[in-house]
């Protein structure tokens, strides 16, 4: 699963934020397998997150949108 594909899930979603489990369901990974990928995207400023206690919500940044746009042009 490429980074672009994970980010596209956020663009395709009707919700402005997604839980880790929602992303995991879309990519077919466990939550534990998805979390490091989401953190890696956040480390590159392609995603932002907020910890709500037991759950984390994620959303795509402007840099993430630009990354997808540039990936599509290649």
Nearest Cα residue to 58 out of 12, 1, 19: 19
Q: What is the pTM of this model?
A: 0.91
Q: What is the pLDDT of residue 63?
A: 98
Q: What is the pLDDT of residue 71?
A: 87
- State which H helix or E strand residue 56 sits in: strand 56-60
Q: What is the pLDDT of residue 74?
A: 67
Q: What is the pLDDT of residue 52?
A: 79
Q: Is the pLDDT at 7 greater than 80, yes or no?
A: yes
| C-beta neighbour count of 10 within 10 angstroms | 24
Task: List pLDDT tens digits, range 33-74.
Answer: 999 999 999 999 999 999 978 889 999 999 999 999 998 776
């Amino acid at each position: 699963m490429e980074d672009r594909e994970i980010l596209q899930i956020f663009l395709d979603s009707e919700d402005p934020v997604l839980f880790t489990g929602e992303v995991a369901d879309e990519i077919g990974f466990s939550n534990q397998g998805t979390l490091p990928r989401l953190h890696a995207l956040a480390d590159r400023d392609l995603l932002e997150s907020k910890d709500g206690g037991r759950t984390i919500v994620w959303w795509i940044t402007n840099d993430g949108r630009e990354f997808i746009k540039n990936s599509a042009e290649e």
